[in-house]
Amino acid sequence: MVTLDEVLGSGLLQKPSGDAPEALQRQITNYKPLHTFKLEKTRPYQQQYADIYFLRLTKIRPAVEAAASAAWEGTVLGGEKVKRVERVLDVRQGELCWVAGTVYMDMPLKPSILEDVSKDRWISAPTSVGHYYSGNGEDSVMLEDDSGRIRLVGNALQNHFMVTGCIVAVMGTENANGEFEVIDLLFAELPPQPERWSLSKGKKEADSSEDVEMMDASFSGHPRKPSSKKIALVSGLEFSNADTSYAMELNLLLEYLLGEALDPSIQRDELSHITRLIIAGNSISTTAAEQAKPAAAFDTTTVTNKFQPQNKKYGYDSSSYNPVPSQLLDSFLSELLPTMPVTLLPGALDPANASYPQQPIHPAMFPQSRTYMPPPKAGAGKDRDVPGEEEPGWFDNVTNPWEGEIEGWRVLGTGGQNLDDVFKYVESEDRLGMMEAMCRWRCVAPTAPDTLWSYPFQEDEPFVIKECPHLFFVGCQPEFGTKVIHGPDGQAVRLIAVPSFSETREVVLVDTETLDVERVKIVAE
């Protein structure tokens, strides 16, 4: 990890040379966003959510069954040959078999929509329970399909992350209690991975002929070759007028990206190679000034005054709206955009729809920065399956999750809600392991719509990962983490947990040739 102070070194105060300063030009990244998670502007919500699970099972089960058939075909245990059953209800007691289906976690601490409706909480915000996992033995794992549901038991379940919505094949037998004793289980594994530059048809043959192996810089053992291009990842900026404890670091971050605070040689060798900034969620803080005060600092007259107007339950309340956080973000972006393109993903705290997939933040929130967005086109954005519907602007205001191609690499990223919700299901702190599990489940948001609010899709399930990304990042995480995972067919995926800047003051830089990763810590001393 490199701190900003180390980058600055002693080069801040230099005697100006007699020659005119060299005019530096920031390099341009080949960038093609996909519209996988773009929804139509008019979308109904009357349909049922069960269709999402049926679509997901239909898409992923063939891959799961193929993996299970290859692994368990001809397997003999205790003199009995394992056989496949088509449906969950076809499982027979004492018969060794395997079956594929959708996992459902029955947990008492999980939020219940029926309970919310009965207690008139059905319009409230999503629950913020720290963990659904109880650890007292009351949690149970179910396997279901369109025929029914059966409870899973066995020590094999303890070796894997299990959450609602993931598709799995289990081998075992039904016991006398009507439970399925699991001996082994398998997932779909990583989907097929496209070649580099698969979307960039017009790229020169010479550029696509180089096949660069992804190596972890910490273990490569070779001197690191300077990259021609880098992308910067940051999340959790949380602009607010209530919490000013890291306002100096935000200013330093802006100066660092602009190159205004650095030595000319560092500008030439390092910062001119940062070709794009990706902001992965939570750019605005919703913390009010009153909430930031300690309890003893509240004025008792405001607490006990029963005639004080309360916040409105419905609609717009001008007395509680605070425009300052969005103005600060807009000012930050407007200063940065003239020199660097920006991709902005919304997060849980941002002014976007709460349900997955979150749609882009409305351009009206960026009166200064929206001039760098592409002009709206009539009929654009109606077909989510057509990549490259329009040329992206210098300021690309995108969905969460988001998928695209950067310098030929397929990239998938989210603002963090999917990983935070999976974290609540398991008794583990291994967030990189959960990211790996999502890739091997082939689902970027497995817990939607059970505990992660989502749109009720009926014709397609966009959360299914159809093509394996080369880079998968998740924003707004408590700490930085990265590793490379591999698939059975040679797939390689760089996983990055992007830390929240408001908590860690860290920025992540990714080399666009090797996908090596480094951290830069912004410290104001």
Structural domains of the chain ordered from first start: 21-42+225-289+321-373+389-519 (3.60.21.50), 73-184 (2.40.50.430)
Q: Cis before residue 357, ω within 30 degrees of 0?
A: yes
Is it the case that residue 388 has pLDDT exceeding 70? no
Summarize pLDDT for 150-201 with one digit per residue, the tens: 999 999 998 899 999 999 999 999 999 999 999 999 999 999 999 998 887 6
Average pLDDT over residues 429-438: 96
Look at residue 479 in the predicted model and tell me its pLDDT: 96
Lowest mean pLDDT among 263-272, 333-342, 401-410, 474-483: 263-272
Q: Is the pLDDT of residue 428 over 60?
A: yes
- Helices 247-258 + 324-336 axis angle, to 10: 20
Cα–Cα distance between 267 and 265 in angstroms, integer? 5
How far apart CA 125 and CA 110 sit, in angstroms, is 15
d(CA 295, CA 291): 9
Q: What is the pLDDT of residues 288-329, one digit of tens each?
A: 443 433 333 334 333 344 444 455 555 555 556 778 889 999
Written as six digits, the tokens of 79 are: 């003199």
- What is the structure's pLDDT at 322? 78
The whole-angstrom separation of Cα 480 and Cα 474 is 10
396 or 207: whose pLDDT is higher? 396
CB contact at 8 A, 503 and 485: no
- Mean pLDDT for the chain overall: 82
**How far is residue 200's CA from residue 207's CA, in Å, rounded to a whole number?**
11
Higher pLDDT, 129 or 155: 155
Higher pLDDT, 205 or 330: 330
Above 60 in pLDDT, residue 378? no
Amino acid at 261: A
pLDDT at 209: 43
pLDDT of residue 191: 96
Query: According to the model, what pLDDT value does residue 47 have?
Result: 84
Spell out the alpha helix ranges (H) of 10-125: 50-72, 113-118
Residue 6: which pLDDT band, with cuts at 50, 70 and 90? low
Q: What is the rounded distance in angstroms from the CA atom of residue 199 to the CA atom of residue 386?
A: 12
pLDDT of residue 296: 37
Phi, psi at 8, each rounded to 5° = -65, -45
Cα separation, 416 vs 283, whole angstroms: 12
Is the backbone peptide bond immediately before 223 cis, with ω within 30 degrees of 0?
Answer: no
The H or E element containing residue 301 is: helix 300-304
Give yes or no for residue 331 having a pLDDT over 70. yes
**Digit-coded pLDDT (tens) for 399-423:** 999 999 999 999 999 999 999 999 9
Residue 254, token pair as written in the block: 């802006």
Q: How far apart are the first and last CA of the chain?
A: 18
